[in-house]
Amino acid sequence: MQNIFLRFFILVSLFSSAAIAQQDTAGIHIKQQKPDSYFRINYDNDFFSATDRYYTQGIYLELITPFIKKSPISKLLIPLGKEALNYYGINFEQDGFTPRSIRHDSIYYGERPYASIFFVSHFLVSINTVKKQRLSTSLYLGIIGPDAKGEEEQKAIHKALKNIQPLGWQYQIAGDYIVNYNVKFEQALFSNKRLELIASAAGRAGTLYDDIGAGMMLRTGLFQGYFKNSGLTKQNDPNLKTSNFQCYVFGKAELKAVGYNATMQGGMFNKNSVYTIPASDITRAVGTAYLGIVLAYKRLSIEYTKVYLSPEFKNGLSHGWGHCNITICF
């Protein structure tokens, strides 16, 4: 049944986005350039931190293009007002989670359970270039459990790399549905041509993640302003010496208060998971740190980021992984 649900939603998402190929700009007055289109490939893996545990891998593909605004789901997303530059997108994501050791062919009590999620996200990045504000909203719809195919993916990768096969996937989180709404607001505290300091506040609510958080990001180097566009532009700005080439580093720190995490506690509707972490063992304050570098030239951008995560549950370990993405503007 979950496979039917997943396929139905993907078809609806693609149809609603592609069936109407012209952007509706009625009632929107943007003084800046019109939004460009982007395709982005993202890949996370804790192989870059020489570990194989917890959040072990994530693959997600993003498409940002104006006609996605015509999707009926886009009406649930929040723009920053009539003067905002709005980037509507769709994202397909699969994430996998394991305990600290994948060599136990039985339930690893006291550890993170195996879990796999797959969802389709409609999202909007809305930027006010004058006030230097950015509002990101998204809606996740998908599944958690065996039908998300995390077991098959991890075993295939390990086989290709001639690595040991993971044991214990038969005890993964049981199948359930994902419906999640996420909001993130960012505001520049300081900004010039070579340095930006940005504060953020975020919240997620639904059947997958329930949490609120705040953070701070520092960027320095040769870059287009964070609140100018979505990172690249095919329309060169003669007033920006860095419009063709960008090279910058960034650091970011976030702290969140956790209410619920289905990848550890199981789905909200299906309570038949053979093993989950009890609510009393969930760490309620979790910190994340990011350190990354970005290289971009004209319509192409490459990023590499190391991510560090504090323990998420009682007796859990801190964790880290590498994040890579390639973005193409068209």
The two three-digit tokens of residue 184, written as one number:
């993130």
d(CA 198, CA 191): 8
- Would you call 157 helix, strand, or coil by DSSP? helix
- Would you call 31 helix, strand, or coil by DSSP? coil
d(CA 195, CA 304): 19
List alpha helices for 204-276, DSSP H: 262-265
pLDDT of residue 267: 97
d(CA 83, CA 89): 19
104-140 pLDDT tens trace? 999 999 999 999 999 999 999 999 999 999 999 999 9
In this prediction, residue 28 has a pLDDT band, given cuts at 50, 70 and 90, of very low
pLDDT of residue 87: 96
207-261 pLDDT tens trace? 999 999 999 999 999 999 999 888 887 755 555 444 689 999 999 999 999 999 9
d(CA 12, CA 136): 23
Q: Is the dihedral of CA 216, 81, 92, 247 positive or negative?
A: negative
State the first-to-last Cα distance of the chain, in angstroms, to the nearest integer: 38
Per DSSP, which regions of 85-237 are E strands?
85-98, 115-128, 133-144, 176-191, 195-206, 209-222
- Would you call 293 helix, strand, or coil by DSSP? strand
- How many degrees, rounded to 5, is the angle at CA 197 between CA 196 and CA 199? 140
In this prediction, residue 161 has a pLDDT band, given cuts at 50, 70 and 90, of confident
pLDDT of residue 33: 56
pLDDT of residue 238: 53
Q: What is the mean pLDDT of the chain?
A: 89
- How many degrees, rounded to 5, is the angle at CA 261 between CA 259 and CA 262? 135
The two three-digit tokens of residue 190, written as one number:
């300081």
What is the length of the chain? 330
Q: Is the dihedral of CA 6, 10, 15, 16 positive or negative?
A: positive
Lowest mean pLDDT among 25-29, 63-67, 287-291: 25-29
Other beta carbons within 10 Å of 290: 16
Are 136 and 121 spatial neighbours (Cβ–Cβ below 8 Å)? no
User: At the topology level of CATH, where does 2-20+33-329 sit?
Assistant: Lipocalin (2.40.128)
